[in-house]
A and B are shown apart, each in its own frame.
Chain A
Amino acid sequence: MNSYPVDPPERLASLTTGRATSFLTEGVRAGQDEIPQVAVVRAATPLDGYAVRWSTAPVREILDEAMDRFADARTDADAWLAPRLHATVRMSRAEAADPGLWNFLALAVAPDYVLWRHVPAGQSEEAAPKKVNAARFVGPHYSQAFARLWWSAEMFRDGPDYGPAVVACGNQDMINTALRLDAVDHKPTALAMARVLQQWTESGTNRLGDRVNALCTAVNTAGSTLMYEVIAPDDAPDHAARAAWIDEAETAASVPWERLPDGPDDGSARRTSCSALTRMFEQFAAEAPLRDRARAGATAD
């Protein structure tokens, strides 16, 4: 397994996907070859300014803790890490939309975490080494190892409360499927989905993955004829509060490990809107057929 970079860069930078891809050899993805650190750092563009939030050390710290804490249950690391990554690398959505930042984290700061978290679960020790999907290093926001966590926290948090994000990240299908949908761009929709998931988790419902996927499909389908924003109105986020929260990163202490950090206090979603959608989604879930994921993609045959 790839080891901790010997001399990780101190500050985050942006590495274009094209450049990043050129370093992703088979050997690197299999964890056999080292990534040429100097070349990566040279190929990257430093981020503007000297803000503390672009320091790599706090990120390394929580990643190391996660790898230690969830050594036996790697997927469980997501729920712990997502809010803490979000509260550590504090930034605006515009900044987070730059894939260069995530590419740099994956290749220069923590390639070891990407390999640790995403190397396929192995049953056999065959000749061909198991490789991490390149999309975990340089992929879209719902695939890339760090972007998926940060954006899950961003889309499913309720103002400063990361609770719903923890619920969402506790289910792999929720991150993998829901995060791809435009529908979760509407906060009450995202929160209602998390709430339905939470009810299922608490009541020990079976076939949770199938249910989450069915729910996502239903919400996405009905979203083509319904405007959730009209059924469940919400207020615009408080951009100033968020900007202040980002600025606080200069002086904020490291994120707590045992309790949830506080997110930006940019406004909680309207309760009535979340409840209305939760009721609607519960009904969708009750009516939707559960499809066996093994058969999905070949349903019509």
Chain B
Amino acid sequence: MEESEEFGVWLGRQLRRTQLSQADFAQRLGLTRAAVSAWVTGRARPRTEMMAKIAEVLGTDLATLVTRDTDTGGARPIGWYHRTAHLDGGREYGNAAAFAFDADLAVLAREVTQNSLDERLDHDRPVRVRFTLHELTGEHLNSFLTALKWDEVAPHYEAAAQSRQKVARVLAEGLRALREESSLLLLRVDDYNASGLTGPEYADGRYAAVVRRQLDSHKRDDRAGGSYGLGKATLWAASRLGLVLMNSTLSEAHEGRTERRVVGRLDLPWREVDGVAYAGPAWLGEPDTEKEHQGVSRSWWADERVVADLCLERDGDDPGTSFLVVGAHDAAGSSDSLESMRDALDQALADNFWAAMTSGRSTPAMLDASVRALRNGETVVPDRRVDPVERHPALTRALRAHLDGETVAELTSAGQVAATEVPLAVPTPRVSGKRSTTHEHRAVLLVTAADGTDQEHSRVICMRGTRMRVMARRPRGLGMGVDPFQAVLLAGSATGRDDAVTRAAEAFLRAAEPPEHDKWGATEDLTATYANAPRRLTEFNAAMDKALHAVIGRRTDGQREDGPEVLRKLLRLDVPTPGGGRRGPGQPAVDRVTGRVDADGAWTLDVTLTVPRRDERWQMKPVAKFDVRSGGRPSLAWAALEPLENCEVVGDRLLVAPDVRSARFRGVTAVESHPVAAAMAGVIVDVQQAREVSA
């Protein structure tokens, strides 16, 4: 079980909450102030017989004093604390980090889910991430706004929306939508089996990294792509109101408690309300009682009713965090309809995390993601697991074969996955005075034939860490005509290994990534830390191409005599004729033939011709033949030819009227000319030019 909070810390907070001084408290217990001070500072503990008395004074029971998992003195009023403007008059127009991102649900899904993956708690089971789109209207909306203390923030919104900044326009639009459409869209992201927002209110920790700081990347282990770094700003960016609420179940107790740590954070630009200037963020919470943070809203341990009102209930007590983006929208998406946003999320999750979501027979997936949509608490789109196989069948197959140890060395059928190794010489970090050495890391390259429905193919998907996709690299030097393939490169920790060289490779590659984590290149960080780093990356790329070529490249044994290129290109058989578009005046041609075998066994054929328009009549000879398996086709004789449109029949000739574009005639074949019963044959009709044409 989680540890209880230190008695002294707990007691100190209870005294502040009840606004009792240590002297008053001591007096009520009949002790000296020094004795109470010793308890609060942890130098001494009260004797057992004193505990009952302390409980009585604080208005609680003995059990609470032992467990210390509840505060006494009833709930403090929840409210908004707005940071006042800097005394130096500097004006911040908004969260710089948040506004570095556009409101893009795909980016949000990527960043937030990556954070959850980085914060996975129990590595024997997946971290579960659920996205919920929740639309509120009418009474549900009112009740939510009440819980949110909307009345307290409304004046700030109105003021902030007045400014001429870009942020203000977004805010104004958000307020207008709320007012005129009386609806509000919430996007909720829950993770389970994750760390949760642990740590103290202001000092270093996950909680402070998310709630109190803007650019802090609270890095816990060196696999992380920078959890809670810049990425968290995508949450605020996705809110038209710059407002995100959080409810976290902690993996490590804080203040003796783990469940329902709730706080809200609002990012607004500089504004003036009732003559007071405010800048930057505001927090929704309980007024702090500590001296140096007096009045600042801090997270509070909410009861179940409050989280329900705030649409933030969590399932069970599995640790993790629920983020609620208030007034969510997707500037990048086609529309803000629930369905299209749901699809955007689903797609983004599948595209970015198919690898983390893939499991082997005995290897669990790292991630289990799902998306659902609600309207006023009622399900609109049921919770549906994102299945990586649906969008990336071949890639998923490749990884699964690797996890199950079923890869082959050489591809011989479409369903197989070839595995090969790609060496990366990892330099040791620069240490002054020491010569740099390298250690060889062996990345894993998986290759399989692309699936017919794959949108993206014939690239090497490069991954590290928690199988996060860094880039899709276009291989070089494969030669022409290689069949579409899928390739995955697992480097660093993504290989599934965990040794010193693997960790060194992981660190090296992370250093090679820009803040967007979307390629491996010579970043400043990399070149400053490692000697010869750019060369190592070039070699790595070359090794990748070589390994890929060995698996799928066409092997030429050098025996084919290709001849000089200058000549070869003039002898290609598949090039369209130069000037092929140039055509003569055109000739009548058969456009369409329909036909049936009549009762006498003759073919009755209805033939439509396309005729180039000209002033003279066209004269031609219709010909019917039977199709054959091989060789020459037998001709059929006509028993009758009958003009239908724009033509006349003279003997076995057809005369097409001048100045028309089409003609139609009917022909009946002569049964006695059939080499086999009509029903047994396919028939072909053609028109041959009669050489002399006279009108």
Contact = CB atoms under 8 A, between A and B. Distances in A.
- Please say whether the chains A and B touch (CB closer than 8 A): yes
A182 B630 contact: yes
B589 interface: no
11 contacts: A182-B629, A182-B630, A221-B676, A221-B681, A222-B676, A225-B627, A225-B680, A284-B677, A284-B680, A288-B676, A289-B675
A225 B635 contact: no
Contact of A221 (B634, B637, B672): B634
Contact of A222 (B623, B630, B652, B681): B681
B673 interface: yes
Interface string B623-642: 10011111100110100000
A240 interface: no
B178 to A, nearest CB: 70
Given A224-B681, A224-B682, A287-B676, 5 more contacts: A214-B675, A220-B629, A221-B626, A289-B673, A300-B635
B558 to A, nearest CB: 24
B623 A217 contact: no
A218 interface: yes
B630 A226 contact: no
A225 B674 contact: no
B676 A183 contact: no
The 9 closest A-B pairs by CB, nearest first: A223-B629, A182-B630, A218-B676, A222-B680, A217-B675, A224-B627, A220-B628, A221-B626, A221-B676
B623 to A, nearest CB: 7
Contact of B672 (A220, A284, A289): A289
Interface string B435-450: 0000000000000000
B630 A181 contact: yes
A218 B626 CA distance: 10
Interface residues of A, number: 20
Nearest to A214: B675
A9 B523 CA distance: 77
A205 interface: no
Nearest to B601: A287
Given A224-B682, A299-B637, A180 B676 contact: no
Contacts of A222: 676, 680-681
Question: Which interface residue of B634, B672, B680 has the most chain A CB atoms within 10 A?
Answer: B680
B631 A180 contact: yes
A207 to B, nearest CB: 15
A139 to B, nearest CB: 15
Interface in A173-206: 180-183
Contacts of B673: 289, 299
A288 B675 contact: yes
Nearest to A223: B629
Centre residue among B628, B672, B677 by max chain A CB count within 10 A? B628
Contacts of A224: 626-629, 681-682
Contacts of B674: 287-289
Contact of B630 (A180, A225, A287, A289): A180
Contacts of B675: 214, 217-218, 221, 288-289
B682 A223 contact: no
Contacts, number: 65
Interface string B652-679: 1000000000000000000011111100
Interface in A256-301: 284, 287-289, 299-300
A222 B629 CA distance: 8
A25 to B, nearest CB: 31
A217 B634 contact: yes
Contacts of A299: 635, 637, 673
A230 B637 CA distance: 31
B637 A223 contact: no
Contacts of B623: 300
A226 B652 CA distance: 31
B589 to A, nearest CB: 19
A226 B634 CA distance: 17
B629 A181 contact: yes
A299 B625 CA distance: 12
Given A224-B682, A300-B623, A284 B630 contact: no
Nearest to B623: A300
Given A289-B675, A299-B673, A221 B627 contact: yes
Contacts of A300: 623, 635, 637, 652
Nearest to B634: A217
A221 B680 contact: yes
A223 B635 contact: no
Interface in A205-248: 214, 217-218, 220-226
A225 B681 contact: yes
Contacts of A284: 676-677, 680
B629 A287 contact: no
Interface in B38-70: none
Contacts of A218: 675-676
A218 B634 CA distance: 9
B676 A217 contact: yes
